[in-house]
Structure 1
Amino acid sequence: MKLNLVPARTGATWVRLGLKTFWRQPLAFISLFFLLMALISTVSLLPLLGSVLAPVLLPFMTLGLMVATSIAYTDNAEGIGTAGHAQRPTGSAMFVAVIAAMRTEWRSLVKLGVISAVYFVFAVLLTSFIDGGQLAKAYLLDEALTPEIMASSDFQVARMFLMCLNLPLSLAMWHAPALVHWHRVEPVKSIFFSVVAVFRNFGAYALFGLAWLGVFLLAGIGMGLVATVLIGVGSVGGGGAAAAIGNVLIVGSALVLAAMSMSSTWFTFRDSFDPN
């Protein structure tokens, strides 16, 4: 295995391929994303341990969506049917492949998840130097927060600080699950190689992020306009149905966009690493 250096314009190609692949099996991608998100959300609700156990499942989600993308994406040379048309993979084939990958790599994924959880707890504890431990108590001890605490400047700074600390974790886990699955790299080494790949191809990854930001902004503006119209209709008509639909559209579109963005991560892995 060796690292590939790709031009910056490849970042836009990754986004285009991700969008194209998502629309080959949109229901399967959305169902898989919602299922994994529901599992992580349910675990996070467990008393005391939930916020620590939830990060353990994140590598499973990353690998699952990457495997689904690899199945959904079919090169023309590989996906030509008897009638000369590209064959679309079935949603069931995607789910079967995802389950098989998770079952095969669960030990390595758990190791990656434990590393993520330990880092997350350490990062949360560091915020105690800013807000006196309010954020840490909320995350780790499920302590209720008053509106006054949430509105305080120290608490807001602590939240931003935690977001900054989680960025290196995101970079470290970007390719790690895929590396242990497709290239049989040890979990700790996979984290190192993931970070190196992002920094060596920084231009491509920066354009990748900016391109997805543009997609999110355009979709958000469109959905916001539709939701505003529906909410306005509901307020004028005295009914809450239209307003409720508008709110559902905003939340639903955000989740679908998140599923779409994660469907492109496999292409970043595929082009960044050469198995030979």
Structure 2
Amino acid sequence: MKLQIVPARRGIHWVKAGVKTFFRQPLALSGLFFMFLALVSVISIVPVVGNVLSLALLPAATLGLMAATREADNGKFPMPVLLISAFRAGRQQMRAMSVLGALYAAGFVLILAFSALIDGGKCARLYLMGAPITSEMLQEGDFQLAILVVSALYLPLSLLFWHAPALVHWHGLPPVKSLFFSLVACLRNIRAFMVFGLAWTGMFLIFGIIMAMLGAMMGSAEAVAAMLYPAVMLVLAMFFTSIYFTFRDSFEFPTGEDA
């Protein structure tokens, strides 16, 4: 396995490739994404345990969406069973993916625990226990600081796990080693990832402007609100589709190594 260094402009290519591939199989890819969201919603009904389990399943779900993207990129129809690809590849890889999920959940819970030192646990209760969010809470300085800290600490956690599920599943790397290579690959290609992130931020901003214009033209906030959620989910599905291309371009593998 060899790390590939790509130019900053490659970040734009990843976004374009994700959107283009999504529209090759929009129903299948959006359907898989909504299936994942539905599963997380059902699991999250159980306070604390359900939310932690949802976190643990995120690496496996990301891998499933990447596998579906690869099928669509190869001109094939992504079947729903691809969403559980992580649990169909053999006992060793399934165990490694379970360890990866446990590490991810533990890392995020530790971040929430640290934020509790700032706001007394308001942010942690909001996520883990589904505590209601109020306008007064949003205006509290300690809560705002806790949200900023969680966002800042989540970035390195995200880089650690960005490529790890694919490295574990397709190339048989141990969980800890996959985290190391994922972090190194992201840091070495940080300029491309910054362009990638900025491009997607711009996409969401443009989408928000379009929705605001629609609301002004229709004169109905209720109608816009009804369209907003599914539209945002479709854009998020495109974002997850683009993740596969960041992995494909960041590593070079010997012919035949891909599983």
Range with greater deviation from structure 2 (39-48 or 204-213): 39-48
- 1:213 matched to 2:201? The reply is yes
Structure number with greater Rg is 1
**What is aligned with 1:107?**
95
Change (3 A) 1:130 1:69: same
- Which of 246, 252, 255 matches 1:274? 252
**1:187 match:** 175
1:196 aligns with 2:184: yes
Gaps of 5+ in 1: 75-87, 235-242
Provide the aligned C-alpha RMSD in A: 1.9
> Is 1:265 equivalent to 2:243 in the alignment?
yes
TM-score by length of 1: 0.84
* Matching of residues 130-169 of structure 1 within 5 Å: 130-141=118-129, 147-169=135-157
Looking at structure 2, the residues matched to 106 and 228 of structure 1 have their Cα atoms a distance apart, in angstroms, of 50
Matches within 5 A, 1:1-276: 1-74=1-74, 88-92=75-79, 95-104=80-89, 105-141=93-129, 147-230=135-218, 232=219, 234=220, 243-276=221-254
Paired residue type of 1:17: A
The alpha carbon displacement at 1:160 in A equals: 1.7
Distance 1:146 1:101 in 2: 38
Going from structure 1 to structure 2, the CA distance change for 1:90 and 1:166 (only over 3 Å counts) comes to: same
Q: Using the alignment, how far apart are the partners of 2:73 and 2:237 within structure 1?
A: 15
Distance change >3 Å, CA 114–CA 101, structure 1 → 2: closer
> How has the CA–CA distance of structure 1 residues 140 and 265 changed in structure 2, closer, same or farther, with 3 Å as cutoff?
closer
> In structure 2, do the counterparts of structure 1 residues 245 and 91 end up closer, same or farther at CA, with 3 Å as the change threshold?
farther
Indicate the SS of the match to 2:162: coil
Q: Deviations over 1:31-60 (max 9, x none)?
A: 100110111122122123122212101012
Indicate how the Cα distance of structure 1 residues 274 and 223 shifts in structure 2: closer, same or farther if over 3 A, else same. Answer: same
**CA separation of 1:227/1:134 partners in 2, compared to 1, >3 Å: closer, same or farther?**
same
Identical pairs, percent: 46
Q: What's the TM-score, normalizing by structure 2?
A: 0.89
